[in-house]
Structures are given as structure tokens and as C-alpha cells.
Structure 1
Amino acid sequence: MVSRIRGLGASKLSYAGRVTLINSVLNTLYNYWAQMFVIPQSVIKRIEAICRNYLWDGSPDFHRVPLVAWDKVTASKKDGGLGIKKADIWNLATEYTPPADNTWVWNNICKVRDKLKYGFVNGSWDHHPKGYTIRSGYDWLCPEQAAAVWSPVVWNNWNVPKHSMITWLMMHNGMNVKEKLFKIACCNNDLCTMCEVHTETVEHVFSECVYSYRIKAQLIQWFGGSLPGTITLATEHRK
């Protein structure tokens, strides 16, 4: 997994590109071995650390504070996450062929059986029409979350992946706006870069700033509508 990240220009990808690489390449490597072995917890933690670090920093090593909590990242897209699999739960949901003797692997298989047995009703798996599958086992083991009503707007075929990722970060308040950067002494003030009057928060940048308002007004006018009221640029107020 580390060699995949350090090669092929993977560190140069955007957030959206990194999510795609994690789901299509890194998780595929892990899933191959998880279908044959119970992966030790130390290895699972290292795998999740590699994916988490790569997502936020483009490197398998930790250099940057995550913008959004990992539990939110690993939630499904309809629940407000990015759909990245949790390595430990996926490992539990995978089928195994136990050895004949009482080994460490066998003991862990018994633990998996004890966790999954409550999903069987009258001897059959009750959560998928075709019986037990790894995906249905994973979904059953994951805690239920309230569906994000904004998910269909963010993740659809009409959006550019980069724009979807920016919007997703905005919905989780994960963007590095000046309000956050000023608190950790990364900038001299917390004023909006565009209007230079109000504090730069996520809400201000996308909804309240006079420049954002004008952009929305022009877009709505383009579609034949109008925004109520008028607004004047902050620079014009100062003049």
C-alpha cells in the first residue's frame, strides 16, 4: 500500500483523486488478504493510518491534522461520509475456512461468529435476498447513522469530483478558513480574504459574503430568477 502511494504520482492527486485511489487500489489490496486471514489488530490500525494519512496529506506518514473525523469519512455517502471502508469491520464481515486445530485464527473466527450470529434468523441470513455476503455483513456490523439529506446533491453524475469534495468538506465544517487558521496562529487576522470586513467562516464564504451573494444573484438571474433585496460591496462602504 505504501509503495502504491509513493509511486505513480499518487501524492499529487487532489482529495477526490485520493479517495478514488483508496477505494479502488488500497482497499483492494487489503480485501484480498482479508478474505483469507484474520488480520491482526496492529496491522489493521496501520492500514487505517496509512489511508487516513494519505487522504489528508498525500503521504503514508502523519504530517497534518485531519480535516474531518475518520468515523465520518468511513460512513457511506448517503450517510454523509466518503464511503471508505473501515478495515476492522470489513475484516469481521469476511468469510473464513477455519483450520482443524485450535489456533489463533480459529479463536478469532469464533469471535466473528458470535458477533454475526444475531444477524441470522431461523438459520438464514436475513439481511440480503441471496443470503450472506461480505458487503451485507459489513453493512450490518456498521452502526446506523441518520442519512444526510444533502448527499444526493453532493454526490451525483453532474458534479465535478473536486467540487463534490469541496462541498463535502464544507458540510462537515472541515475547510481551513481563516477563522480556524487564526486560532492556531497561521495568519495575522481572521478577516475574509474577499471582503476584508467580516470573519472568514464557512458560512460567510459560501453564503454571507457580498461577493458570494453577487455570484449567486448572477446565477439565479441567468436562470430567470432574482434574489430579494440588494447588497453593496464592503469596499464601497469603506469609500
Structure 2
Amino acid sequence: MFIIPKSVIKRIEAICRNYLWDGSSEYHRVPLVAWDKVTLPKPEGGLGIKKAELWNVATIGKLQQWHNYKPPATAPWSWKNVCKVKYLLKDGYVDGTWTAQAHGYSIRGGYDWLVMPHPAQNWTKLVWNNWNTPKHSMITWITLQGRLNIKDKLFKIGCSNDNHCCCCDSMPETNEHLFIYCPYSSRIRGKLEIWLGRPMPAVNEMVAGNTGSIQWK
């Protein structure tokens, strides 16, 4: 019914961010993944969590049925902010009709229209599916962002005495080594392929990216 003040929006998103990483409303460490990436849709590599500010705007957009109305100069600040929403959404209208979606304006459609699109990622269905437990999906997602706290990273910031792989203790523990090249991981993958009766192309198609994260072909 009204535009939420930005200070309140920031607090709401802070609570959501803290709960995601710590399960509580307070979290005093640096999050593993930036909030802008977390709020991307899942097909684009995020977690699909809504941006509170844009969702607020999209919700107000549902109330907008006037297109020639201008608030008077004496109108209160809160009402002027509500009226500003129609200017944010005006490019989605043609002759007063919402044309961005086929079935007219909806809050979800308005939100999707407001969100800046990013390239789709072809690994998302492998991470988010009914076969994976949420915990394993989350670990895989963090790994694909290159943000897993592996020993090589911890060693560089002085939080570990060495950077040796925790499984084979022969090479530095990087994302690529831990999940692809480590002999222990390879043996586990081989046993899984025998058990499944088929190769695991998702793992075989992993390649090391320039940023040190794992990407998919």
C-alpha cells in the first residue's frame, strides 16, 4: 500500500541475508556470496530470493490504474512516492495496457520486468532438482560461485596451517582439485558411476574458469 523507506528495506534484506548464512537475524561475518547474486533467479545462477525494494515497487504497481494523474504539489511525501511507481513501469504500458506480459499486469510479472536479466546458466537444473538434498545443492551452488572456504583460500588469509587437500594430502586444495582431479574424489565418482550404471557427464564436463571457480560447458 506504500513505498517502504530504504532504511527499512535494508534492514529486511539484512535479516534475510543473515538468516540464509547463519539461521539467525544477526550475522557478523562477510557473506560467502554477494546479495546481488543471491537474488538472481535460479535459472540465472542465483537462489531466486526476491529483492525487497523491487518487490515493493511491483506490488504498488498492481494498484496503479491511472496514467494521466499527477499528484498536487501539496500532496504528502508518501503519496508522491506511490505515484512515482507508474513512471518506473510506464515503458511496460502501451495506450494504458500492460503489454510486457500476455495476461496483463501481475505482481510477479511486474517484478520480473523490473529485474535486470542476466545470462541463463546451463548447470542450474543439475544443482536444483528433486534428487538432491538442499544441503548438497547449496554446497554445490557455493562451489560454482567460487566461494567455498577451501583450504587453499583459508591458507592464503592465514586461517589454516597448510593448503594440502584434506582427502589426498598431496596437492593444494582448490575447487578444481577437490572436485575433479583429487584421486579420492575420482574413486568416489567411479563407484557412483558403477552404482548408477552410467557415466556422470556433469562432472566430466567441468572445466576450470579463469576466476578459479568451476564452470560448466
Shorter-chain TM-score tier: 0.7 to 0.9
**Larger proportion of helix:** 1
CA distance in 1, matches of 2:99, 2:128: 29
Deviation of 1:216 (Å): 1.1
CA distance in 2, matches of 1:210, 1:155: 27
Partner SS, residue 71 of structure 1: helix
Preserved contact between residue 57 and residue 64 of structure 1 (Cα < 8 Å): no
Partner of 1:105: 78
**Do residues 167 (structure 1) and 171 (structure 2) align?**
no
Partner of 2:23: 58
How many residue pairs end up in the alignment? 192
**Do residues 203 (structure 1) and 176 (structure 2) align?**
yes
Deviation of 1:182 (Å): 1.1
Which ranges of structure 2 fall in alignment gaps of 5 or more residues? 201-217
Deviation of 1:224 (Å): 4.0
- Percent sequence identity is 57
CA distance in 1, matches of 2:118, 2:196: 36
CA distance in 2, matches of 1:157, 1:225: 19
Per-residue Cα deviation, 1:51-108 (whole angstroms, up to 9, x for no partner): 1122112222232211111111001111111111101111111124799971112211
Deviation of 1:122 (Å): 2.8
Partner of 2:210: none
Partner of 2:6: 41
2:10 maps to a residue whose letter is: K
Partner of 1:178: 151
Partner of 2:59: 94
Partner SS, residue 168 of structure 2: coil
Partner of 2:95: 122
Deviation of 1:207 (Å): 0.7
CA distance in 1, matches of 2:105, 2:197: 52
**Do residues 134 (structure 1) and 104 (structure 2) align?**
no
Deviation of 1:37 (Å): 2.1
Aligned-residue CA RMSD (Å) = 2.1
TM norm structure 1 = 0.75
Which ranges of structure 1 fall in alignment gaps of 5 or more residues? 1-35, 228-239
Preserved contact between residue 21 and residue 27 of structure 2 (Cα < 8 Å): no
**Do residues 70 (structure 1) and 35 (structure 2) align?**
yes
Partner SS, residue 37 of structure 1: coil
